[in-house]
């Protein structure tokens, strides 16, 4: 199985992953009309976090996160922490599936049983993960074009329709910096930038393994996705107002639903749903693929059993998605208030911080021994 992707494919994968559910779920809405500022500041700090992940990868000799954990923390503790990350990736994949289950159930397929919607989202993910990262990379190039074209069309139609009212973004910093700082950490940094931790399982699959080239691509991806999310947030507020955005479960759908040009361009929320589904699909796929690869590494599973393991973990993901379902209000409360603080902070910030310190100290020791 070919497990190599080009730099171009890697870039597309990162952008799709970072847009993912972040473009659908209202991030930083408590900052009112300043939500776009939160997203841009989050992008800056998220870029620093991505550099930390890349530095850990560069200074270690492991090919994926589980191998890096074992190298820096020791075999037993490393495997234990790796199991924690496997559970984290599967749980996050399940949460994103339920994000889009709620979108689909509340818009396109309200009468469809929950389990069928979960299958619709999960089966293609399991199949693509089975095909491997090379197929995922080729698919990302195609889907990236569709996503970007859809975003441009929706923005263009919104301005043709003269819907955005710039005055709704004013006054800037009306409530000062406190609301911005309150929502900045951990949510605006953890989603989506802290989640790029998953790519520590994919960096070694890039054909050009030069870490400087990978860093450029990763940072460029952060900037592109951050700008798209910030502009989307600003346009949402400019069209439907900060109050409506804060009260909406999916403000982007309400925004797109407002677009109407004459009698022949209407109901563009179908395009918005397509956009959200494609981004969500890749986010679920990356999380699930990384859980498969780390499981194989931790338990030293022979490559012959990879397809079986993929199906088993896929079934676990489906079961989790079904039995951990809650109503939309509880779902978003858990995802926006509880998970960032108690899950993202230790797994995206604290443990990688420890790994970074250990990797720097380890490299200094090696350098000292070489000089000695």
Q: pLDDT-derived band of residue 255, with 50, 70 and 90 as boundaries?
A: confident
What is the average pLDDT across 288-298? 96
What is the average pLDDT across 350-370? 81
pLDDT of 210 reads 73
Q: Choose between 82 and 158: higher pLDDT.
A: 82
pLDDT of 1 reads 54
Q: Is 90 within a domain?
A: yes
pLDDT of 256 reads 84
Percent of the chain with pLDDT over 70: 95
Domain that holds residue 327: 7-371
pLDDT of 323 reads 92
Q: Is 209 within a domain?
A: yes
Q: Is 2 within a domain?
A: no
Q: Is 355 within a domain?
A: yes
What is the average pLDDT across 351-359? 95
Residue 367 clears pLDDT 70, i.e. is over it: no
CA distance 41 to 177: 12
pTM of the model: 0.94
Residue 34 clears pLDDT 60, i.e. is over it: yes
Q: Is 108 within a domain?
A: yes
Task: State how many domains the chain has.
Answer: 1
Provide the mean pLDDT of the chain.
Answer: 89
Q: Is 1 within a domain?
A: no
Contact 184, 31 (CB under 8 A): no
Q: Is 216 within a domain?
A: yes
Q: Is 307 within a domain?
A: yes
Query: What CATH number is given to the structural domain containing 285?
Result: 1.10.4160.10
Q: pLDDT-derived band of residue 262, with 50, 70 and 90 as boundaries?
A: low
Q: In three state form, how does the secondary structure of the chain look?
A: CCCCECHHHHHHHHHHHHHHHHHCCCCCHHHHHHHHHHHHHHHHHHHHHHHHHHHHHHHCCCCCHHHHHHHHHCHHHHHHHHHHHHHHHHHHHHHHHHHHHHHHHHCCCCCCCHHHHHHHHHHHHHHHHHHCHHHHHHHHHHHHHHHHHHHHHHHHHHHHCCCCCHHHHCCCCCCCCHHHHHHHHHHHHHCCCHHHHHHHHCHHHECCCCHHHHHHHHHHHHHHHHHHHHHHHHHHHHHHCHHHHHHCCCHHHHHHHCCCECCCECCCHHHHHHHHHHHHHHHHHHHHHHHHHHHHHHCCCCHHHHHHHHHHHHHHHHHHHHHCCCCHHHHHHHHHHHHHHHHHHHHHHHHHHHHHHHHHHHHHHHHHHHHC
Contact 4, 208 (CB under 8 A): no
Q: pLDDT-derived band of residue 263, with 50, 70 and 90 as boundaries?
A: low
Q: What is the pLDDT of residues 191-233, one digit of tens each?
A: 999 999 999 999 999 987 677 888 899 999 999 999 999 999 9
Residue 253 clears pLDDT 90, i.e. is over it: no
């Amino acid at each position: 199985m070919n497990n190599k992707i080009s730099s171009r494919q890697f870039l597309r994968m990162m952008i799709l992953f970072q847009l993912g559910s972040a473009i659908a779920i209202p991030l930083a809405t408590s900052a009112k009309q300043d939500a776009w500022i939160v997203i841009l500041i989050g992008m800056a700090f998220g870029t620093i976090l991505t550099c930390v992940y890349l530095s850990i990868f560069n200074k270690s000799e492991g090919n994926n996160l589980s191998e890096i954990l074992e190298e820096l923390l020791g075999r037993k503790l490393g495997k234990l922490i790796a199991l924690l990350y496997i559970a984290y990736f599967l749980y996050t994949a399940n949460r994103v599936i339920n994000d889009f289950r709620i979108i689909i159930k509340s818009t396109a397929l309200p009468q469809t049983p929950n389990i069928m919607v979960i299958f619709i989202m999960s089966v293609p993910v399991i199949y693509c993960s089975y095909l491997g990262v090379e197929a995922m990379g080729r698919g990302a190039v195609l889907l990236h074009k569709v996503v970007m074209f859809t975003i441009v069309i929706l923005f263009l139609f919104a301005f043709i329709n003269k819907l955005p009212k710039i005055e709704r973004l004013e006054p800037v910093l009306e409530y000062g910096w406190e609301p911005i700082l309150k929502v900045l950490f951990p949510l605006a940094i953890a989603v989506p930038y802290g989640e790029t931790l998953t790519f520590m399982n994919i960096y070694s699959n890039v054909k050009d393994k030069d870490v400087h080239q990978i860093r450029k691509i990763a940072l460029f991806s952060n900037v592109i996705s951050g700008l798209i999310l910030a502009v989307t947030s600003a346009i949402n507020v400019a069209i439907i107002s900060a109050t409506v955005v804060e009260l909406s479960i999916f403000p982007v759908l309400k925004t797109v639903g407002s677009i109407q040009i004459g009698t022949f361009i209407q109901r563009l929320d179908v395009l918005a749903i397509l956009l959200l589904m494609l981004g969500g699909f890749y986010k679920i796929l990356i999380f699930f693929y990384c859980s498969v690869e780390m499981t194989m590494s931790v338990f030293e599973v022979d490559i012959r059993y990879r397809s079986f393991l993929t199906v088993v973990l896929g079934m676990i993901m489906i079961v989790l998605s079904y039995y951990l379902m809650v109503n939309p209000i509880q779902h978003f409360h858990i995802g926006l208030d509880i998970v960032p603080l108690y899950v993202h902070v230790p797994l995206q910030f604290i443990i990688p911080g420890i790994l970074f310190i250990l990797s720097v100290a380890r490299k200094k020791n090696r350098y000292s021994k070489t000089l000695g």
